[in-house]
Amino acid sequence: MNAERPGYGALGSRDIAQLLAVADHGSIRRAADALGMTQPGLSKNIRLIEDRLGMVVFERSTTGAVATEIGTLLLRRGRQILLDLEAIHRDLRDELLSETGRVRIGAGPVAAPIIASQVIARCARDHPGIAIEMDVGTPSEQFPRLVRGDIDMFIGNCDAISLPANIQARVIDEVEPVFFVRKGHPLALQPRVELRDLRPWKIAHVRLTAPFAAWYGSAAGVGELHTGFQCDDFEMLAEAVETSDMVSYASPQILARLQKRYAIATLDIPGIDFRHHIHCAQPAGRALSRPGQKVAQLIEAAFAAAAAR
């Protein structure tokens, strides 16, 4: 087999799926487990595909399988082909089933509570045939899933990451952070608080974005944010703040909900000029399904309404 001169053998969608499984799992054994096949069976199929194409797609070793240079090109094109086929099937299904289907969302920790509280119930009421799946994480965690087609869109802050060429993002909201402490905290008893007054206190926060960390370090006059507790769940952050002397922050919308359940108080801090951007990121050139379009419209409407309050 000549790895430098590929042939023109036919390649089916199942062949592409098997090749991608090996690439994604890094080994034929793990790929076989994921596909519900035997390792010898998948290994034989991969070799038959390579023979048919006249190229070596993977370099095998005792530690796994790694795509060759030409194999990487094949896999990149093959992944897009499968995504295009899925889009065709989805569009045909949408035409038949109208607003029925599953929409998969990746969301940042600031965006997720807004989606959960203001989009899910509205979607269930207005579009009962649509099911929403949401996974919370950072852009660096979610963008590979977006490229693979595991999620349809990412809603969250993308300022701290270089967008891949095949991902496009637009700002749908700007959020001002509001700092809060437990009721009775020494800072809560002050009529006016400066950011520099926060320096002695540990901060409870979601995973930091680089722009926020840089802004806080400069505005508060600290080398770096003094972390006391990090968690992407604002309910847990509020519980931690309620039972300690830590300081935390949230969007006005999230904080309004937390204040109904926890004994926390906002801090009146003038001159906060930082804005946390909320982006909607999608693969370039890949249109959302009809259910996806409906959910995207609900998400943008929810953030617009929250910003207006």
pLDDT digits over 108-128, tens only? 999 999 999 999 999 999 999
According to the model, what pLDDT value does residue 9 have? Answer: 61
Q: How many helices (H) and strands (E) does the chain have?
A: 11, 12
Q: With bands split at pLDDT 50, 70 and 90, how would you rate the model's confidence at 8?
A: low
Q: Is the pLDDT of residue 82 over 60?
A: yes
According to the model, what pLDDT value does residue 159 have? Answer: 87
- pLDDT, mean of residues 230-252: 96
CB atoms within 10 A of CB 268: 12
Q: Is the pLDDT of residue 2 over 50?
A: no
289 in Cβ contact with 90 (< 8 Å) = yes
According to the model, what pLDDT value does residue 308 have? Answer: 65
According to the model, what pLDDT value does residue 94 have? Answer: 65
The Cα angle at residue 228 between residues 224 and 231, in degrees rounded to 5: 105
Helix (H, G, I), strand (E, B) or coil at 90: helix
According to the model, what pLDDT value does residue 7 have? Answer: 52
H-helix segments, the chain: 13-25, 28-35, 39-53, 69-97, 111-118, 120-126, 139-148, 210-220, 234-242, 252-258, 290-308
299 in Cβ contact with 108 (< 8 Å) = no
CB atoms within 10 A of CB 267: 20
Calpha distance 218→216 (Å, rounded): 5
CA 184 to the chain's CA centroid: 37
Calpha distance 210→142 (Å, rounded): 17
According to the model, what pLDDT value does residue 12 have? Answer: 87
Q: With bands split at pLDDT 50, 70 and 90, how would you rate the model's confidence at 3?
A: very low
Q: Helix 13-25 to helix 39-53 angle, to the nearest 10 degrees?
A: 120
280 in Cβ contact with 153 (< 8 Å) = yes
CB atoms within 10 A of CB 5: 9
b/e map 202-236, b = 16+ CB within 10 Å: bbbbbebbeebeebbeebbeeeebeebbebbebee
Q: Which domains does the chain have, with CATH numbers?
A: 13-81 (1.10.10.10), 99-174+277-308 (3.40.190.10), 178-274 (3.40.190.10)
106 in Cβ contact with 145 (< 8 Å) = yes
Q: What is the side-by-side strand order in the sheet with 178-182?
A: 227-230, 203-205, 247-250, 178-182, 264-266
Q: Is the pLDDT of residue 210 over 50?
A: yes
More confident position, 265 or 209: 265
Q: Is the pLDDT of residue 240 over 80?
A: yes
Tokens representing 153 are: 């869109």
According to the model, what pLDDT value does residue 1 have? Answer: 47
Which tens digit of pLDDT belongs to each residue from 132-165?
999 999 888 999 999 888 999 999 999 878 888 8
In the chain, what percentage of residues exceed pLDDT 90? 68
Mean pLDDT of the chain: 90
Tokens representing 10 are: 């036919």
According to the model, what pLDDT value does residue 4 have? Answer: 45
CB atoms within 10 A of CB 178: 19
Q: With bands split at pLDDT 50, 70 and 90, how would you rate the model's confidence at 199?
A: very high
Q: Is the pLDDT of residue 268 over 70?
A: yes
Q: With bands split at pLDDT 50, 70 and 90, how would you rate the model's confidence at 272?
A: very high
Q: With bands split at pLDDT 50, 70 and 90, how would you rate the model's confidence at 281?
A: very high
More confident position, 286 or 137: 137
According to the model, what pLDDT value does residue 306 have? Answer: 73
